[in-house]
Amino acid sequence: MSDHESDEPLTTTHDEVTVEKRFEPDDFPVPAIAFTITSERDEAVTVQLSDTVPDDTPTEDIGFHPDYGAEQWDVEGDAIVFTREFEPHEEFVTVYGLRGTDASDPERFLTEPELSSVDAIEGDSGDDVGSGPGDGPTAESGAAEEAGADVDESTATESDAGADVDESTATESDAGADVDGPAATESDAGAADDDPEGSEAPEATADEGDPSLDIDLPGPDDAVADDPAETDLEDDAGAASDSGASGSAPTATGDEPLAATLADEISEGRVDDADLAELRDALGVDEEGDAQAVLRDVRNNYQSTVDRFDDLAADIGDVRADLAADVEDLRGDLAMVEDDLSADVEDLRDDLTAAEDDLAADTEDLRADLAASEDDLGADVEDLRDDLAATEDDLGADVEDLRDDLAATEDDLGADVEDLRDDLAAAEDDLAADIGDLRDDLADVEAEVTEVTEERIEALEGDVEAVEAELAEVAELRDRLVGALGGMAGAGSSDHQQTTGDATVGGDGADDETGGDDNDAGGTGIDQVD
């Protein structure tokens, strides 16, 4: 495990080629290890980058992105190798993605990358053909270096033929059991009859190292190893030029490599037997034995691919079975939640209806009590007015009686007129004082009646306002419940579970609040309001 911090890139430089390796948790659909490869060379080069992964990492936890050079990765032993041609001053980013437990521990993958080779690409392949026989070992070594592979001179032809076969079958092995058998057989036969370059197929292809993971991601058939085959064919061309091939050997036309042209000529039977024999002698190839080895390796690779496909199909079947069981469990849980929610909604509706009925009854009682209180106050005011009118009438009658008595006294007692006048004046003063007192008393009574009436009216108005506030709260609660129930009824099937959870939470809160209002309303009365 590396002690390197994941936010600091690892940098390696070799022959004016720089590689920066870093962990990218967010830039891709899954966490990924990214490599930024920059060539500062003035000529085109072939770069081979090697990286190691922890031994306990499952192959399905690593995958390559088709947009970031997935087809240029290969597996060699316990390492993964990236091989690509770079133009002068070109920069390229390639990644491999992580998932499972490896994605949570990227430090294990942040080891120092290795630039296995940086080889210049020769611009003119015809120069190789024109080289003399004495240059054979050097040309063969140069071709091997350009391909980025450590190939011994005695085994160069084996890797060449293996690459030819691998190029025709790489995509087929990726697809699992869907392999074009006749095409493979024809390729093998061509190698046996026309091309003496028998070989062993490569031990691993890019697809064998990348069986499953998508970064959004390549399927198993997204990575096809094209470069190794082309490179090995160039090795064939170098070997052929070393053997002193005659002018009848084909030359490259246009942008097609000489090795590819030579391979096409041989496979199509357009190279005469003398040239083929000379090539076989120069390469030291046993036609029959190597062709059989190639065919055997192709069959072994095909059977291995079929076995891996069968294992993968079995794993997929298990996953589908587990997924079906999980879906059934989820459906059962959803049905239970729906049943519970329906019961809660019905209970909530019943509680709301009962609360509305209780509040309506309490409101009617308060209104009846208010009307009765208003009637009682009106009757009391009328009684007070009648008493006042009666008192005024009685006082008026008394005044008239006194005046009559005074007139009679004046008539009967002329001599006492002055005394009577004095007495009368005194009586009038007393009477006026009494009338003033009565008027004051009447004013006090009216003030008391008015004060009592206003106090009772204000108290009743306060009770009415409290009732109206409670009614407003109930109406608001009802609107909220109706809105929640309406939202749940209008939700789509894809959001049904989330809407169900929200309605359940709202239902509990509304149920508690309704219960509280029900208790308050049940105990509300005129005496409690006063």
Task: Express each pLDDT in 97-129 by its tens digit.
Answer: 887 776 777 888 888 989 988 999 876 443 443
**Residue 190 within any structural domain of the chain:** yes
* Residue 293 lies inside a defined structural domain of this protein: no
Q: State whether 83 and 131 are in the same domain.
A: no
Rounded distance between C-alpha atoms, residue 320 and residue 322, angstroms = 5
Please report the DSSP string for 242-273 in residue order.
HTT--TTS----TTS-HHHHHHHHHHTT-S-H
Q: What does the pLDDT read at residue 262?
A: 76
**Do both 348 and 435 map to the same domain?**
yes
Chain-centre distance of CA 342, in angstroms?
30
Same domain, 151 and 116: no
Higher pLDDT, 478 or 232: 478
The pLDDT of residue 95: 94
Task: List the domain range (segments joined by +) for residue 146.
Answer: 126-285
Residue 291 inside a domain? The answer is no
- The pLDDT value recorded for residue 73 is 93
Are 158 and 79 in the same domain?
A: no
Give per-residue pLDDT as tens, 236-292: 434 434 443 333 444 444 556 776 787 778 777 788 878 877 777 776 665 555 555
Q: What is the DSSP string of 199-248?
A: -PPPS--TTTT-SS--SS---TTS----HHHHHHHHHHHHHHHHTT--TT
Q: How confident is the model at residue 78 (pLDDT cuts 50, 70, 90)?
A: confident
- Same structural domain, 100 and 131: no
Q: Is pLDDT of 496 > 90? A: no
Tell me whether residue 298 is in a domain: no
* Residue 471 and residue 351 share a domain: yes
* Residue 350 maps to a domain: yes
Residue 507 has pLDDT above 70, yes or no: no
- Percent over 70 (pLDDT), the chain: 61
Nearest to 284 by CA among 196, 410, 201: 196
Verify that 158 and 105 share a domain, yes or no: no
Q: Evaluate if residue 135 carries a pLDDT over 70.
A: no
Q: How many residues does the chain have?
A: 530
- Domain membership of residue 504 (yes or no) is yes
Shared domain for 84 and 165, answered yes or no, is: no
Domains of the chain: total: 3
Output the average pLDDT for the chain: 71
Can you give the pLDDT at residue 76? 82
Q: What pLDDT, on a 0 to 100 scale, did the predictor assign at position 300?
A: 72
Q: Is the pTM of this model over 0.75?
A: no
151 vs 361, which has greater pLDDT?
361
Question: What span, in angstroms and rounded, lies between the C-alpha atoms of 86 and 308?
Answer: 34
Residues 12 and 144 in one domain: no
| Residue 266 maps to a domain | yes
Higher pLDDT, 337 or 189: 337
The answer to whether residues 241 and 152 belong to one domain is yes
The mean per-residue pLDDT over the stretch 341-364 comes to 92
Say which residue, 456 or 176, is predicted with more confidence.
456
Same domain, 134 and 262: yes
Q: Which residues pair with 33 in a beta bridge?
A: 23, 96
Domain boundary (285, 309, 339) is at: 285
Residue that is last in its domain, among 86, 106, 121: 121
For residue 308, tell me if it sits in a domain.
no
CATH of the domain at 71: 2.60.40.1170
Q: Which of 121, 156, 177 is the last residue of a domain?
A: 121
Same domain membership, residue 161 and residue 107: no
Q: Using an 8 Å Cβ cutoff, are 195 and 266 in contact?
A: yes
At 403, give phi and psi (nearest 5°): -65, -40
